[in-house]
Amino acid sequence: MQQGYLVMRLKGKNALITGGNSGIGLATAKRFVEEGARVLITGRDEKTLAFAESSLGSSAISIRADVVDADARARVIAAAKENFGNLDIVFANAGIAKSTTSSIVDTPEDIYDEVLKTNVTAVFLTVQGALPLLRDRASIILNSSVAANAGFPGSGAYPASKAAVKAMAHSLASELAPRRIRVNCVVPGVIRTPVWNRGRSPEQGEARVKQMLKKVPFGEIGEAEDVANAVLFLASDESRYITSTEITIDGLRIARCDLKVTPHCLLGSRATLIRRQPKRNVSGARSSSAGYRFDHHSDTTTNKWTAFMKAFESRPPGAGAIE
């Protein structure tokens, strides 16, 4: 390859990005255009949509559409067909993080339904509508969240919706495999986007960021571009043999949640993965309930983990990793 030769990773490809008027969607649209793609973005807010289209240049068009509206989705697909003829990439990014911070008994049914309709049903129907335009070996990327694994109390709808997106990706990937259409997920953690200040004052938004920082071992907030770069990889031919998988962009946020349950990174040589022997039932037959367990041998691992967590929880925001 000649020095200075620029390879455009999406040259000649056509992409649809829902919710492409701000945040992760807009950052992804910019990366796609930079890499040679033509992009159709959607959004509900006319002002931000117009700004996004102007910032993307002549390689992008925009359609004002709410993904939960069937007629609006039909207009989007019709526009893609008219302008592009076919699609190589679908990034089903549009979603809402509507507050459901009340307890289980106090969560309104209409709010729960709205979140699932936007984050799950509309994602499926967007893919369904785009399918006739998708060329073989196309790429579909869905946007999930670390909330699907974190188990935050008082937030039932949003995590449920993002967990459903992960399950959906696996199912879609299996069904579309004969056409070599890849379906994958990005799983963002704490990412700086306009949603942080939506419905909050700047001071409240900043306070929330500081609170969330305490749960990120990297000690810094991710940017929309960090997620966009992962989406770009999954959209490109560099990931041609990758499907039904997830890329987590979270500064170890998921591990921070999961390690409280099973601190694999701190088990060290004093822990052993032991095969559980199947038990015999009353008739003497061997049970199929064999599995694995961690044998810690002593309290050393527990003490190490407890000390780490105490140091981590007392760390000031932005202090970085625990040595």
Looking at residue 150, what is its pLDDT?
A: 78
Below-70 pLDDT ranges, the chain? 1-6, 99-102, 195-200, 253-323
Return the CATH architecture of domain 14-256. 3-Layer(aba) Sandwich (3.40)
Q: Where are the domains of the chain?
A: 14-256, 264-313
Looking at residue 232, what is its pLDDT?
A: 98
Of 41, 36, 32, which is closest to residue 65 (Cα–Cα)?
41
Looking at residue 296, what is its pLDDT?
A: 44
Q: Quote the CA–CA distance of 177 and 170 in Å, as a whole number.
A: 11
How many Cβ atoms from other residues are within 10 Å of residue 304's Cβ? Answer: 15
Q: Rounded to whole angstroms, what are the CA distances from 54 to 31, 77, 100?
A: 15, 21, 35
- What residues contact residue 26 under an 8 Å CB cut-off, 6+ apart? 20, 41, 52, 55, 224
Whether residue 112 lies in the annotated active site:
no
Looking at residue 285, what is its pLDDT?
A: 52
Q: For residue 157, give the amino acid letter.
A: A
Assigned token pair, 111:
């709010």
- What residues contact residue 30 under an 8 Å CB cut-off, 6+ apart? 55, 56, 228
Q: Quote the CA–CA distance of 133 and 128 in Å, as a whole number.
A: 10
Q: For residue 151, give the amino acid letter.
A: G
Looking at residue 190, what is its pLDDT?
A: 83
Q: Strand 272-275 relative to strand 292-295: parallel, antiparallel, unpaired?
A: antiparallel
> Which residue of the set 5, 112, 158, 292 is catalytic?
158
- For 91-136, write each residue's pLDDT tens digit: 999 999 876 566 788 888 999 999 999 999 999 999 999 999 999 9
275: β partners: 292
Range 221-224 contact pairs with CB under 8 angstroms and sequence separation of 24 or more: 221/190, 221/191, 221/192, 222/188, 222/189, 222/190, 222/191, 222/192, 222/249, 222/250, 222/251, 223/27, 223/191, 223/192, 224/23, 224/24, 224/26, 224/27, 224/28, 224/191, 224/192, 224/193
Looking at residue 247, what is its pLDDT?
A: 96
* pTM for this predicted structure: 0.77
Looking at residue 316, what is its pLDDT?
A: 59
SS3 sequence of the chain: CCCCCCCCCCCCCEEEECCCCCHHHHHHHHHHHHCCCEEEEEECCHHHHHHHHHHHHHHEEEEECCCCCHHHHHHHHHHHHHHCCCEEEEEECCCCCCCCCCCCCCCCHHHHHHHHHHHHHHHHHHHHHHHHHEEEEEEEEEECCCHHHHCCCCCCHHHHHHHHHHHHHHHHHHHHHHHCCEEEEEEECCEECHHHHCCCCHHHHHHHHHHHHCCCCCCCCEEHHHHHHHHHHHHCHHHCCCCCCEEEECCCHHHHHHCCCCCHHHCHHHCEEEECCCCECCCCCECCCCCEEEECCCCHHHHHHHHHHHHHHCCCCCCCCCC
Looking at residue 147, what is its pLDDT?
A: 83
